[in-house]
Amino acid sequence: MTDSKKEKEFDLKDELIADRKVGFFNKPDYMSDLSYNTIIYIDKFNLLIGKIVSWIIVPLFLAMVYEVIARKFFLAPTMWAYDMSRFMYGGMFMLGAAYALSRGVHIRADFLYRNFKIKNQGLVDFWLYLIFYFPGLIFFLYMTTGFVLESIQRQEKGMDTAWMPLLWPIKACLWFGIVFLLIQGVSELLKSYYAMKKGKWPGDE
C-alpha cells in the first residue's frame, strides 16, 4: 500500500466529525445570501472570541508559577492565586465554548452518528438543535440572568477563601458564554439544514 493511499485512508476528520463543517467557504449556488452571510459572520465572530479567550491561559499559567515559587521557596503563599486560577479557568471554559462548538470539538458519542449518511447527520443535528439545544440554553440564560443580577446587587463575595473575591465577574462569564453559544447555534442550525437538504455539509463542495 502506498503512503499516499495510507494518508487518504487515515483522515483526522473521521475523529472530529463536525470538523467537516468548519471553515470559511465560498457561497454554494443552493445557499441564500442571508444564510451564507449569517454562517460566515457568526463563525468569524466566535473565532475572534476564541482567539481572545485563549490568551487567558497566559495569566493563568503565570499565576500558578508565581504561587508555586512563593509557596515552595519563600514560604509566602498568596491569598489570590487559587481564586484567580479558578476564575480564569472557568471563564476560559465558558467564553470559549461557542468557539469549540464551531470547531466541532465538544464531546459527543458519535460511534453511530459517524456512520450515518450526511443527510441523516444533518437531520439529527437540525432537530436536536431545535428541540433540545435552543430551549435548554434559553432556559439557562433566563436562570443565569437573575443569578448574575442578584450577585451584582448583593456584591456577593466568595466565602471559601481568605481573599473573598467578588463573584459576579465569573458569573457574568457564564451569562456571556450562553449568549455566544446561542449565537453559534444559529450557524450550526443553518449548516445542519443544508446538510439535511443537500446531502453535503456547506464547504464540502
Q: Where are the domains of the chain?
A: 32-107+115-198
What pLDDT does 18 receive? 46
17 three-state secondary structure: helix
190 pLDDT above the threshold of 50:
yes
User: Which position has the higher pLDDT, 115 or 7?
Assistant: 115
* SS3 label, residue 166: strand
Q: How confident is the model at residue 181 (pLDDT cuts 50, 70, 90)?
A: very high
Single-letter amino acid code for the residue at 60: L
Q: Is the pLDDT of residue 98 over 90?
A: yes
Cα–Cα nearest to 151, from 137, 166, 162, 139: 166
pLDDT at position 85: 92
pLDDT in tens, 22-80: 557 888 888 999 999 999 999 999 999 999 999 999 999 999 999 999 999 998 999 99
Q: How confident is the model at residue 192 (pLDDT cuts 50, 70, 90)?
A: very high
- Per the DSSP assignment, residues forming a β-bridge with 201 are none
Q: Residue 22 has what pLDDT?
A: 53
pLDDT of residue 205: 64
Handedness of CA 37, 43, 46, 48 (dihedral sign): negative
Residues 102-146 have pLDDT tens digits of 988 887 777 788 888 999 999 999 999 999 999 999 999 999 999
Kindly list the distances between the CA atom of residue 20 and the CA atoms of 62, 66, 97, in Å, as whole numbers in the listed order: 35, 41, 18
State residue 168's pLDDT score.
94
